[in-house]
Amino acid sequence: MTVDESTENVPQPEQEGDASGKRKSRSKRRRKLRVLVFLVAHLLGAISSVQAIMSTRTAQGAIAWAISLNTFPYVAVPAYWVFGRSKFDGYHMKRHATMLAESETERNVIGLLAEGGMLIDPKNAIDLRRKTLLENLAQMPVTRFNDADLLIDGEATFDAIVEGITEATDYVLFQFYIIHDDDLGNRLKDALIAKAKEGVSVFFLYDALGSYSLPDAYLSQLRDAGVQTAAFRTTRGWQNRFRVNFRNHRKIVVIDGKEAFVGGHNVGDEYLGKDDTLTPWRDTHVAVRGPTALEAQVTFVEDWSWATGNIPELNWEPHRAPQGDVRALCLPTGPADNLETGTLMLLDLINSSTESIWIATPYFAPDQQFVSALQLASLRGVDVRILVPEQYDNFVVGMTVYSYLEELEETSIKFHWYERGFMHQKVILVDGKTAAIGTANFDNRSMRLNFEVTMLLEDAEFAASVEQMLETDFQHSRLASAAEYRDGSLPFRFAVRVCRLFAPIQ
C-alpha cells in the first residue's frame, strides 16, 4: 500500500469540522424542538385548565384537573379531552316537541292525558311537591292507569320482549347498550326481521362503543329486511370527537307506543347465565303498559334524533293500561341535561325515605354527597340496605367498594355481598311503596357520564313483588363488615384507596 493510499481514508481537518458542525446543528434543532413542544404542551395545558375551571361540575374536580393540566400537560391534556368533560354538547331534548309542547293540533299529548284522567291529582302538599320535583326533572308528567310486570332474570325478560315484538302491529323501537352476535342476539334479530317483513316499522339503535364488536353482517341482515339501524356515537360532531368517555347505557324496547321494557339486561348470552365465570347472572327488567310507555318512547326518539337527525312517525295517543293503576314516570338522565338529573333523582329517593331504602347495584362508587345522604337516612331511623355482588367483573370497581365499608358501618347501614353468581340489577325500593328500576348504577359514571333511563313506579302490589324479590336476594347474600377492609394487609388497603381515587370515572 502506498503512502497516498494509506492516507486516503483519513478524515481531513475540513471534513471533521463539517461533521462536527452538522452534529451541533442537529443538536440545536432538537433543543429548539423540545422547547417548542414544552411551550405548546404547557400552553395547551393552561388553556385546557381554564376550560376545566369554567366547566367542571365539582370544585374538587376543577382543582384536580387545573393542577394536573399545568403540571403534567403531556399526560393530562389528552386525558382531559377524553375523560375530563362531564357535559355533552349538541344533544337536544325533544320532549317539548313531542310530549309537553303545545302542538299545532288542538289535542296535544298533555291534553289527551288530562282528558283521559291519566294525570296525577295530588291530595296533599307533600305529594304535590314530590310530583312537581319529579316532573321538573323528567320534563314529562307523572301518569296513572299504568300496569307493570316485574321481570326477574334473563329468561323471563327476553321471553316477554320477544312476545311483545311478535305482537307488534305498528312499530318496534329497540335500543340496547350492548348487543352481541350470539344465540340471544340472533334470536332477537330474527324476531325483528320477521316483524319487519310483515310491514311493521322497526327501529334498531345501539351504542357504538358498547356494541363495538357487533359485526357488519349482523347489521346488514337487519337492513336487508327493512329494519332501520343506527349507532349512537358519542364522538359525533366536531365538539365531541374526543369524548369516548360518554356512553349511551340505555336499554329500551317500545311496542306500538303502548308497552315498554326497561332494565338492566343487555343482549348477550351472558345475561342468560351462560358466561363461564359470571354465572348465574342475576338481573331485573320491568315491562310497563299505559301512558308511561310514551315517555320511554320520547327517550328513544331523543336518542334516535341525535344518531340520525330524523324523528320517526310514531303514535302519540296515550292509552290506559287494560288493567292496573300504577303511578309511573319514565325518567331519562344524562350528560346533556342542564342539571345533574340522575344525581338529583337519587338524592331525592334517599332524602324522602322515612322507613326504608334498599339499593341493589352492581357498581357502588358514589361521591361523598351520596354517602352523607345514606348516613343521614340511617341516623334518622331508616332501614338502609345496600346489596352488591361479591363476584366482580371489574377489579378496580370491586376494590373500590371496600373503601366505603367503614363509613357505612359507622351509622349502622347494612352492606350485603351477593354470593349467588354475578348481580347486575339496578333496583331501589323506598319505604316499601316506590320502586326505581332502570339502567343507572350507583356510581359517578351513571350520574354524570352515561345516558340512562329509570322507571319510577308507585303501587302497593308492585312494590310488594319488588320487596319479595329483594328479600330473596338478601337471603343469597352475606352481611359485610368493615373489618374486611380494616384487617386487610397494608398493600390491600393501599390498593383499595388508590382504586377509590378513580371512582369519578368508573
The per-residue pLDDT for range 145-156, each reduced to its tens digit, is 999 999 999 999
Nearest Cα to 457, choosing from 429, 438, 430, 435?
Answer: 435
Q: In the annotation, is 4 catalytic?
A: no
pLDDT band at 67 (very low <50, low <70, confident <90, very high): confident
Q: Which of 249, 258, 265, 285 is catalytic?
A: 249
Please count the other Cβ atoms lying within 10 Å of the Cβ belonging to residue 277.
Answer: 9
> Mean pLDDT for the chain?
88
Cα separation, 319 vs 292, whole angstroms: 9
Does 431 participate in catalysis according to the annotation? yes
Q: How confident is the model at residue 43 (pLDDT cuts 50, 70, 90)?
A: confident
249 given a catalytic annotation: yes
Considering the candidates 251, 258, 319, 416, report the single residue annotated as catalytic. 251
d(CA 469, CA 336): 34
Question: How many Cα atoms are found within 13 Å in the side-chain-facing hemisphere of 498?
Answer: 8
Lowest mean pLDDT among 20-34, 83-97, 168-182, 483-497: 83-97
Let me know if 256 is a catalytic residue: yes
Name the catalytic one among 147, 207, 256, 337. Answer: 256
Q: Which of 189, 285, 424, 459 is catalytic?
A: 424
Q: Give one DSSP letter per residue of 162-205, joined into a string.
A: HHHHHH-SSEEEEEES-B-SSHHHHHHHHHHHHHHHTT-EEEEE
pLDDT at 66: 78
Q: Please pick, among 189, 258, 426, 443, the residue that the annotation labels catalytic.
A: 426
**How far, in Å, CA of 474 to CA of 418, rounded?**
7
Q: Is the pLDDT of residue 281 over 90?
A: yes
**What are the phi and psi torsion angles at 131 (to 5°)?**
-60, -45
Q: Which pLDDT tens digit goes with each residue over 301-339?
A: 999 999 998 999 999 999 999 999 999 999 999 988 888
* Tens digit of each residue's pLDDT (9 = 90 or more) over 190-227: 999 999 999 999 999 999 999 999 999 999 999 999 99
Which grid coordinates are listed for 294? Answer: 310514551
Q: Confirm whether 123 is a catalytic residue.
A: no
| DSSP character string of 283-307 | -EEEEEESTHHHHHHHHHHHHHHHH
Round to whole Å and give the CA distance between 23 and 393. Answer: 54
* Whether residue 355 has pLDDT greater than 70: yes
Question: Is residue 164 pLDDT above 80, yes or no?
Answer: yes
Q: What is the pLDDT of residues 356-390, one digit of tens each?
A: 999 999 999 998 999 999 999 999 999 999 999 99
Nearest to 332 by CA among 127, 498, 63, 88: 88
Q: Cβ distance 65 to 49 under 8 Å?
A: yes
CA nearest neighbour of 330 among 265, 254, 401, 382: 254
Would you state the pLDDT for residue 3?
46
CB 363 within 8 A of CB 467: no
CA–CA dist 211, 178 (Å, integer): 5
CB atoms under 10 Å from CB of 464, counted, come to 13
pLDDT: which is higher, 6 or 89: 89
DSSP characters for 312-334? ----------SS--EEEEEEEE-
